[in-house]
Structure 1
Amino acid sequence: MRRETCFLISRKPYAIDLSTITGKQHERGDRITFSGSAHALWFRRRAGITYACIGSLKLFSHYLPERLPLDAPHAVLSADLDGRYGGDTCGRWDGERYWGAQEPFQMALDLTVLEPMLANYPNIPDGYDGWWTFQPA
């Protein structure tokens, strides 16, 4: 991944909660396989409507040259990670409609993050680090 200096929705950027980055590593021949995840927020646009999304981000690579320092979140995110699956959305808000959890408590929690996020588009939400993308430079 790489950290962008400016927000461009077309680059599919993510704001990541650095404290939630987890992962496991093991040797695969002369390379290292890494598989992990992180809690993330992101914006997407469809049919002219901007959505604020909340969910998890899969972080993985099958061919790293060396082990990642799991206690250094920026080093993990800066590795050559595969982003083909993107974020796993568990909640989404477009300013009028919510999609996601059906439990009232979880809906309320999601909306406490998503409503101000959409209102402050495209700023990085408080407590998150961004904008990170899997897109090439």
Structure 2
Amino acid sequence: MIREDRFVISRRPYAVDLDSLHLTQDGERYDGAPIYTVTLAAVWFRRRNKLTVACVGHLRDIQSGDAPADAAEFLARHDDGRYGGDCHGRWDGTGYWGAQEPEVIEQHLALLRPMLANFPAIPPGYDGWWRFAPATP
């Protein structure tokens, strides 16, 4: 992924929590190299039906070989943006989509409401803006 200082919604950027890196070893490749599912908490803005929405979720990738030492290494190795982020909650200013548990809804809205109100500012505790490089044929 590529870090940019300027927010451009058409580049589909993410702000990430650099302290939220999570690794799960899922097995090994045929050559014995370990395979990891790696996640990093993220927030982002998108446009849906001409309306700006704020989203919370995570970036996820399956990586093999040496485990990423930190979030920066994970982001440097995460180059497949076909699926984007995994959205867990979304706020459009009037309606919420996402979790069903009241505590999780409250946590999401505590983050998403001020995030959307301060568009396109990066929420406290997050680093941005990160985007995927354009796909090459």
TM-score, normalised via structure 1 length: 0.82
After superposition, the CA RMSD in angstroms is: 2.4
Task: Tell me the residue number matched to 2:127.
Answer: 129
* Superposed counterparts of 1:57-136, under 5 Å: 57-61=59-63, 67=66, 69-70=68-69, 72-136=70-134
Q: Structure 2: how far apart are the matches of 1:103 and 1:117?
A: 21
Matched, 1:42 2:44: yes
**Per-residue deviation at 1:34?**
5.2
Q: Is the 8 A contact 1:92 1:98 kept in 2?
A: yes
Aligned length: 133
**Per-residue deviation at 1:8?**
0.7
**Per-residue deviation at 1:60?**
3.4
Q: Secondary structure at 1:122's aligned position in 2?
A: coil
Q: Secondary structure at 1:45's aligned position in 2?
A: strand
Task: Tell me the residue number matched to 1:54.
Answer: 56
Q: Structure 1: how far apart are the matches of 2:34 and 2:89?
A: 33
Q: Secondary structure at 1:116's aligned position in 2?
A: helix
Q: Secondary structure at 1:40's aligned position in 2?
A: strand
- Over 3 Å counting, the alpha-carbon distance change for 1:79 and 1:28 in structure 2 is farther
- Over 3 Å counting, the alpha-carbon distance change for 1:84 and 1:32 in structure 2 is farther
TM-score, normalised via structure 2 length: 0.82
Structure 2 gaps, min length 5 = none
Deviations 1:72-131 (Å, cap 9, x if unpaired)?
A: 321221225322211111110011111111222211111000000001111111001111
Task: Tell me the residue number matched to 2:14.
Answer: 14
Q: Is the 8 A contact 2:40 2:71 kept in 1?
A: no
**Per-residue deviation at 1:39?**
1.0
**For residue 126 of structure 1, what is the amino acid of its counterpart?**
P
Q: Is the 8 A contact 1:38 1:59 kept in 2?
A: no
Runs of 4+ in 1 over 6 A off after TM superposition: none
Identify the range of structure 1 (74-83 vs 43-52) with the bigger mean alpha-carbon deviation. Answer: 74-83
Q: Structure 2: how far apart are the matches of 1:12 and 1:32?
A: 31
Q: Percent identity, aligned pairs only?
A: 48
